[in-house]
Chain A
Amino acid sequence: MLEIKNLHAKIDDKEILRGINLKVNAGEVHAIMGPNGSGKSTLSKILAGHPAYEKTEGEVLYQINGKYKSIDELEPSQRAKEGIFLGFQYPVEIPGVSNISFLMTAFNELCEAQGVETMKEEEFRKYLKPKLMSLDMNESFLERSVNEGFSGGEKKKNEILQMMVLNPRLSLLDETDSGLDVDALRIVAQGVNTLKSKRNATILVTHYQRLLNYIQPDFVHILYQGKIVKSGDKNLALEVEEKGYDWITKQ
């Protein structure tokens, strides 16, 4: 589904990614771990098309209609419509734009792109109701401005709500577990697991092994100074939890 080959990228002339290789197939869950500042969020944002980062070398190929294609030329909104979803480490507050109109606009944009019928507000609210309930989110969140004044955990739940609404093929969840209490973590993990299928894939960026108790990763990668320096199965996450990163980065 996704193939990253020797990806180098910079921001403001600062090189951050220095040769990333990663292949993700449909049905897989990949976890990316690594010390602060190693480039995890950078990688996620580049995949989603953030304009501030510049690719300097390498390729990002993504499967569209069965064929691998470079996504370089796709606008962020086009990538989203092709099923790439970024769950932000720091969800952005948007004053004056209500959560419901934001969700509905995004959803209907996607419907139009896929040639299925759009929904009117009443119908859309019905469609949202079970999703809100599964995330233990009150309906009043729909009336508030997007993320404005949401607590850290509420913002993360709102990310998952958006993911559920858009039902992406490739989810990049950047520290969606940070700032969640134990119950919320379980709820959010359930949300991710419900969407999991043979046709989609998930990349979880996380600092904590505990998330991986709820969402079983097929692969764990360690990102360090802009490169994947080690890959393994879920035992690698346990090892990191126990021993830190020193033993990997000093090799």
Chain B
Amino acid sequence: MRMMFQELPEYLFELKNKVVFFNGDYSPEMSDLKLQDLEIKQSRTDAINLLHFNQESQIHEMAVSVVVRSGCKAIINEIHFSIDHHSEHHSLTQILVENGAKLTHHQVIAPYQGKKNHKAHVEVFEQGQYQSVLLDMGGNDIRVEETIELKGPHANNQIDGLIRLKNQERSEHIIQVNHLAPETTSQQKYKTMVDNESRAHFTGKIYIAKVAQKSDSALMNKNLLLAKKSHVLSLPQLEIFADDVKCSHGSTTGQLNQEELFYLEARGIPKQQAQEMLLSGYSSEIINKITDADLLKILTPLSRTHL
């Protein structure tokens, strides 16, 4: 295991407060936090890092559970990483955000080799807040399924997602937000960039139960096609059983704006670089939502090519 460990990207090991899962198992020798630390009983300002490494040509499964107790605040960075393209990894992250608690959850799928199937199941109780930023930097077979249940009055969910694919990469994101209590709110924004022959699928479902009166929900999916053979399938869906709610959803798919591109080029910036600038401008709206400086620092080298 030690030898393999050497091959893992060093920048991830610079992170403090980490819980490491290696090929599907909790690895105490690489972690500096214990699994029990994922029950948050006291607010903490420094982030907890969950690192999922996969490095073997095998199928691995694992589940991790995070609880943020009443009134507590926490930041969790969850990073998925694999360097074996024959590997297959199934992960489940279960999250409870209790009354009045707040969890900021940054989820990163670093450029991923192999198959990844990730599920997040989140329950948010009265006045609880779940804020998530999800970055998918691409892989050959990625599927992320998130279910968020707003179970107490005034519970809130906010997700900002960014997906960037190239070559023949495939990625599917399914998000379901269930409003199950009155006056719950949620905002979901997913931005996608697909280049070459890559394909992204997005399904966003908002369910508002009959009891969830005065709930407010917005779902937006914006897609940029960067090549003729790139492809996006976007399916926003609403199921509303309460009659007094605010709910909006939308989906747009387009190409890089040619006038913006020409403007940069007319200032001497070569086309390729001008495109990169526009793309990083496009992603910055999502990346700027990341509140953890250490995470931003390790993302910087990756973001130049993958975000």
**Given A75-B270, A77-B270, A92-B259, A97 contacting B277 (CB threshold 8 A):** yes
Q: Give the top 9 A-B pairs by smallest Cβ distance, nearest first.
A: A96-B281, A80-B268, A76-B265, A92-B263, A106-B267, A97-B281, A96-B284, A77-B265, A77-B270
For the residues of B in contact with A, the DSSP-based class is helix
Establish whether residues B262 and A76, one from each chain, have CB atoms under 8 Å apart when the complex forms. yes
**Given A92-B259, A96-B282, A96-B285, A102 contacting B277 (CB threshold 8 A):** yes
Tell yes or no: B8 within 8 A of A by CB: no
In angstroms, how far is the closest chain A Cβ from the Cβ of B304?
A: 13
Residues of chain A from 80 to 129 with CB closer than 8 A to chain B in the complex: 80-81, 85-86, 88, 91-97, 101-102, 105-106, 109-110, 113
Establish whether residues A52 and B258, one from each chain, have CB atoms under 8 Å apart when the complex forms. yes
Interface residues on B, range: 20 to 34
Tell yes or no: A20 within 8 A of B by CB: no
Tell yes or no: A145 within 8 A of B by CB: yes
* A residues in contact (CB < 8 Å) with B: 48-52, 75-77, 79-81, 85-86, 88, 91-97, 101-102, 105-106, 109-110, 113, 145-146, 162, 166
Chain A residue numbers with a CB within 8 Å of B244 are none
Establish whether residues A51 and B262, one from each chain, have CB atoms under 8 Å apart when the complex forms. yes
Chain B residue numbers with a CB within 8 Å of A76 are 262, 265-266
Chain B residue numbers with a CB within 8 Å of A166 are 267-268
CA A230 to CA B2, docked complex, whole Å: 82
In angstroms, how far is the closest chain B Cβ from the Cβ of A60?
A: 16
CA A100 to CA B269, docked complex, whole Å: 14
Establish whether residues B273 and A97, one from each chain, have CB atoms under 8 Å apart when the complex forms. no
Residues of chain B from 99 to 126 with CB closer than 8 A to chain A in the complex: none
Chain B residue numbers with a CB within 8 Å of A75 are 265, 270-271
Tell yes or no: B91 within 8 A of A by CB: no
Chain B residue numbers with a CB within 8 Å of A96 are 280-285
